[in-house]
């Protein structure tokens, strides 16, 4: 069996490198939006700018399962270094992009790097920290996203205002070099080498099917109509390739996604929770600013307060979750978190027709607390249920499910909102309030679904899992 050990004396520097690596992905997810007008004014092709986001999310999502499996075969260190390297290359190329199509292509390279960095950071943390310690570590990593949610848009806006938008990408260069250097210097793995059989057929089929399906979800109702031949062909061919992938995996010696992962109730329930978490994050972060700016006419900075409270509550609860799941177990902690999330979503939906920054901020903080508990406990319970040589795949499933949930959330919530906004170039405050209220009701429905699935989780006492060493 393949095993790996991270030296405890190096854990502090490794954690810092993981936070820097996660910061790359977190900032890149938020910094670009505020610089888009300046980029379009420079490069042109306004109609193509949505692909800057779609191609990045697509490349990131479809590669997560492949990187996760390779990390179980060859170790985490080479995979995360490849991810940082690809992200560095993509950032440099984006900074020198001469046209919108070129920038889109280079964003895809960034996405390929992000697909390795995000799941590896979480997996490595699971390797070198005990079950009792992982909650606090996940809180640290989550805090990076909290800072990025505020710093990213501000930084992008500053670069745009100074007409130096290319530094949106160049700023990644020192961060990539720092993260790579710290990982090379401080992350040590003792991986027992053996011959492996790489599942090339499975990798090609999985990438192709997921690319078609996720692209169809992201672009449906935007680039083309849901009932268009593009959507039908994308979903149809993607579904056929996905069936072919399952058939291939049944006979593969070392499948990219082992089918046993879908037969264990714990992994199945935590993956479904991940889907809901991804959809929730998308629904709230996408529509709260539109809701407050459109219904109240507040400035974007004021509207960001609602999101700031969400990203503040998550790391606080994640850090605290260990004090709950160690004595109570993962399932009980996830149920508590699910209930708290429902409460926050109920406040958000119940007061949607009475727009208020304070109400949204309170609801966002409560939802953040709930998500911090349910997401952290479900992730760590999944990691703790397997050995080292399976942890990469399991963590990859969790990260991939959140990505898919985000893509599906964008499509569903966007369709709901557009049914109220219509084709109006400048929807009225009443239209925006009505559309946002409908979205928040759906957000409440998703929280209820997460809570329901948390009750279906099997009992997994954290105290028992903690008896094993962190490196397994």
Provide the pLDDT for residue 6.
44
Strand partners, 265: none
> Tens of pLDDT along 395-424?
888 888 888 888 788 778 877 877 776 655
Strand partners, 220: 224
Q: How many other CB atoms are found less than 10 A from the CB of residue 178?
A: 17
What's the CA dihedral at 110, 111, 117, 120 to 10 degrees?
A: -160
Provide the pLDDT for residue 333.
92
Q: In this model, does residue 95 exceed pLDDT 80?
A: yes
Q: In this model, does residue 184 exceed pLDDT 60?
A: yes
User: Structure pTM?
Assistant: 0.83
> Tens of pLDDT along 271-306?
999 999 988 887 787 777 778 877 787 776 676 666
Q: Assess contact for 314 and 368: CB atoms under 8 A.
A: yes
> 224 in helix, strand or coil?
strand
Provide the pLDDT for residue 9.
44
Higher pLDDT, 1 or 465: 465
Average pLDDT score over residue span 363-387:
90
> Tens of pLDDT along 8-48?
447 888 888 898 888 888 888 777 766 777 888 888 876 77
At residue 93 the predicted structure's pLDDT band, cuts being 50, 70 and 90, is very high
Q: In this model, does residue 147 exceed pLDDT 60?
A: yes
What CA–CA distance (Å, rounded) separates 332 from 374?
Answer: 9
Same fold, 8-186 and 258-472: yes
At residue 4 the predicted structure's pLDDT band, cuts being 50, 70 and 90, is very low
Higher pLDDT, 146 or 469: 146
At residue 466 the predicted structure's pLDDT band, cuts being 50, 70 and 90, is very low
Provide the pLDDT for residue 346.
95
Provide the pLDDT for residue 290.
76
Q: Which two tokens stand for residue 160?
A: 């745009």
Classify domain 8-186 by CATH architecture: Up-down Bundle (1.20)
In the block, tokens 């056929």 appear at: 240
Give the lowest-confidence range in 84-88, 213-217, 349-353, 415-419: 415-419
Provide the pLDDT for residue 2.
43
What CA–CA distance (Å, rounded) separates 286 from 442?
Answer: 14
What CA–CA distance (Å, rounded) separates 383 from 232?
Answer: 37
Burial of 350 (0-12, 13-18, 19+ CB in 10 A): middle
Provide the pLDDT for residue 251.
85
Provide the pLDDT for residue 62.
87
What CA–CA distance (Å, rounded) separates 372 from 330?
Answer: 13
Between helix 200-219 and helix 388-421 the angle, nearest 10°, is: 20
Provide the pLDDT for residue 83.
95
> 135 in helix, strand or coil?
helix
Give CATH superfamily name and number for 258-472.
Answer: MFS general substrate transporter like domains (1.20.1250.20)
Give the lowest-confidence range in 281-290, 329-338, 389-398: 281-290
Strand partners, 224: 220
Provide CB contacts within 8 A for 238, sequence distance 6+. 208, 209, 210, 211, 212, 213, 216
Provide the pLDDT for residue 345.
93
Q: How many other CB atoms are found less than 10 A from the CB of residue 162?
A: 10
Residue 462 dihedral angles phi and psi, to the nearest 5°: -65, -30
Provide the pLDDT for residue 116.
92
CA 397 to centroid of chain Cα atoms: 11
Average pLDDT score over residue span 369-397:
89
Q: In this model, does residue 356 exceed pLDDT 70?
A: yes
Provide the pLDDT for residue 304.
67
State the average pLDDT for the chain.
83
Average pLDDT score over residue span 418-432:
70
Give the lowest-confidence range in 302-311, 391-400, 426-435: 302-311
- List own/partner pairs for 152-158 with CB under 8 A and 24 or more apart: 152/26, 152/27, 152/28, 152/29, 152/30, 152/31, 153/30, 153/31, 153/33, 153/34, 153/304, 154/34, 155/27, 155/31, 156/30, 156/31, 156/32, 156/33, 156/34, 156/35, 157/34, 157/35
> Domain residues of the chain, as ranges?
8-186, 200-253, 258-472
């Amino acid at each position: 069996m393949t095993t790996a050990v991270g030296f405890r004396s190096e854990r502090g520097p490794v954690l810092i490198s993981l936070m820097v690596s996660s910061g790359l992905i977190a900032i890149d997810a938020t910094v670009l939006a505020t610089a888009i007008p300046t980029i379009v004014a420079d490069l042109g092709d306004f109609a193509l700018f949505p692909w800057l986001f779609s191609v990045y999310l697509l490349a990131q999502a479809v590669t997560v399962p492949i990187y996760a499996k390779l990390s179980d075969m060859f170790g985490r260190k080479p995979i995360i270094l490849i991810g940082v390297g690809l992200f560095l290359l993509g950032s440099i190329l984006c900074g020198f992009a001469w046209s919108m199509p070129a920038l889109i292509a280079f964003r895809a390279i960034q996405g390929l790097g992000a697909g390795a960095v995000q799941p590896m950071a979480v997996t490595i943390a699971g390797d070198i920290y005990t079950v009792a310690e992982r909650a606090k570590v996940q809180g640290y990593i989550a805090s990076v996203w909290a800072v990025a949610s505020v710093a990213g848009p501000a930084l992008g806006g500053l670069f745009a205002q100074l007409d130096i938008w290319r530094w949106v990408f160049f700023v990644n260069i020192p961060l990539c070099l720092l993260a790579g250097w710290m990982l090379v210097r401080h992350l040590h793995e003792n991986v027992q080498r053996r011959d492996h059989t790489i599942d090339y057929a499975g990798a090609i089929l999985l990438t192709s099917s997921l690319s078609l399906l996720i692209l169809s979800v992201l672009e449906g109702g935007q680039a083309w109509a849901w009932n268009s031949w593009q959507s039908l062909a994308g979903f149809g061919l993607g579904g056929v390739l996905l069936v072919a992938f399952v058939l291939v995996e049944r006979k593969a010696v070392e499948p990219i996604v082992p089918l046993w992962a879908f037969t264990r109730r714990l992994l199945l329930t935590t993956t479904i929770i991940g889907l809901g978490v991804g959809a929730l994050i998308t629904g709230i972060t996408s529509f709260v600013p539109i809701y407050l700016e459109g219904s109240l006419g507040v400035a974007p900075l004021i509207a960001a307060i609602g999101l700031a409270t969400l990203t503040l509550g998550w790391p606080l609860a994640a850090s605290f979750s260990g004090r709950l799941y160690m004595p109570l177990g993962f399932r009980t902690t996830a149920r508590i978190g699910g209930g708290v999330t429902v409460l926050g979503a109920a406040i958000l939906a119940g007061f949607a027709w009475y727009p208020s920054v304070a109400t949204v901020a309170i609801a966002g903080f409560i939802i953040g607390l709930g998500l911090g508990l349910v997401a952290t406990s479900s992730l760590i319970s999944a990691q703790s249920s397997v050995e080292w040589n399976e942890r990469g795949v399991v963590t990859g499933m969790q990260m991939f499910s959140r990505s898919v949930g985000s893509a599906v959330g964008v499509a569903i919530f966007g369709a709901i909102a557009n049914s109220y906004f219509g084709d109006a170039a400048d929807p009225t405050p009443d239209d925006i309030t009505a559309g946002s209220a409908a979205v928040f009701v759906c957000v409440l429905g998703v929280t209820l679904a997460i809570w329901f699935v948390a009750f279906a989780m099997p009992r997994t006492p954290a105290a028992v899992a903690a008896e094993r060493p962190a490196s397994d």
